[in-house]
Amino acid sequence: MASEHVDVSVLIPVLNEEQHVREAVASMRAQRFDGTVELVFIDGASTDRTRSILEELARSDDRVRVLDNPARRTPNGLNVGLRASRGEFVARMDAHTLYPPDYLARGVERLRRGDVAHVSGPQIARGEGTWSRRVALALDSKLGTGGVGFRHASGGEIEVDSGFTGVWRRSTLDRYGGWDEGWPQNQDAELAARIRDDGGRLVCVPQMAAEYVPRDSLRLLARQYWRYGMYRAKTSGRHPDSMRRTHLLAPGVALCAVGALLPGRPGRAARAGLLVYALALAGAGAGAARSASGSDAAAVPVVLAVMHLSWGFGFLAGSARFGPPLRALARLAR
């Protein structure tokens, strides 16, 4: 197959995805696309059966390729796959996500129509397991998404400042040098910021909605959101225009949590802020109760607090590590 023309190369970084990889590969192989597709899995030295499952699938389907990612980090793996891929178009997919059967077809068709550089679909959480289900409920609320357009299904195409996985022309990724390997987290947002800084447009197409499985553990969720916040601070420092006012809410809650321990007026102000935040969490829990069991709805405020505090303290830690995003803050102040 090495000499054959390929229309779309799908890049899928994987690390210990044994639980979901077969189902994910099945949805990728079921894509309805009038052209040739290769599925390039880049394995970060998985310690479970992920690698053996993929090699088994590759033996039965020559569209499946398995590569090594020695660095074990997502952007490094994506760049390994990009260098080895042959497609005119490149899609990124995740192994714990299910994609609609016309995902690639719609993405390629939209790029061929012109005027956009990146096409993706809404990111819809689908819970599997107790806490995964509760995280999905939290992400279905406004407090859970921070106003991010691609986190919810929409009635029509919308322009976004970033996206969940998606499809690009190969020439676009080559022009920007692929993913920046200094961003082990938030690498798609950093790439999107470079594209937008250069005048490129990113759109979210509702028919490309993809379902992903959230973390099924509060500890893993906290770790995930800490890293999200840390590298959002780095992205905002590099690309000031990528920062939104909603990015300041979680760090504000984190500062209130610390400030509440102070005496006098600063402490009272911080505690008042936390009271307003607690009321907002209670409202989100009440909203979830309209569509979920009592125990799951009651857990939504806990999940949201873990997400916000982890993201907020991560953002503050990132500001200390990479430098505060002063230009972004000045821009928002104006």
- For the ranges 17-21, 192-196, 231-235, 306-310, the lowest mean pLDDT is seen at 17-21
- Report the C-alpha gap between 56 and 66 in whole angstroms: 10
At 111 the pLDDT is: 98
- For the ranges 154-168, 174-188, 191-205, 217-231, the lowest mean pLDDT is seen at 154-168
What number of other Cβ atoms are within 10 A of residue 30's Cβ?
10
Nearest to 217 by CA among 134, 285, 295: 134
At 149 the pLDDT is: 56
- For the ranges 17-21, 62-66, 177-181, 325-329, the lowest mean pLDDT is seen at 17-21
Mean pLDDT, range 250-258, rounded to an integer: 97
Mean pLDDT, range 283-310, rounded to an integer: 94
Q: State the pLDDT confidence band at 151, using cuts at 50, 70 and 90.
A: low
- Report the C-alpha gap between 121 and 150 in whole angstroms: 7
- Residue 65 sits at φ, ψ, to 5 deg, of -125, 145
- Report the C-alpha gap between 24 and 103 in whole angstroms: 13
pLDDT tens digits, 81-127:
999 999 999 999 998 888 999 999 999 999 999 999 999 999 999 99
Mean pLDDT, range 264-291, rounded to an integer: 95
Mean pLDDT, range 262-273, rounded to an integer: 96
Mean pLDDT, range 132-144, rounded to an integer: 92
- For the ranges 149-153, 301-305, 323-327, the lowest mean pLDDT is seen at 149-153
Cα separation of the two ends of the chain? 55
In this model, does residue 2 exceed pLDDT 60? no
Mean pLDDT, range 253-273, rounded to an integer: 96
pLDDT tens digits, 42-77:
999 999 999 999 999 999 999 999 999 999 999 999
Nearest to 98 by CA among 8, 31, 168: 31
**In the chain, what percentage of residues exceed pLDDT 90?**
85
Q: State the pLDDT confidence band at 7, using cuts at 50, 70 and 90.
A: very high
In this model, does residue 270 exceed pLDDT 90? yes
- For the ranges 155-159, 250-254, 283-287, the lowest mean pLDDT is seen at 155-159
Mean pLDDT, range 8-26, rounded to an integer: 91
Nearest to 281 by CA among 261, 308, 256, 260: 308
**In the chain, what percentage of residues exceed pLDDT 70?**
96
At 1 the pLDDT is: 45
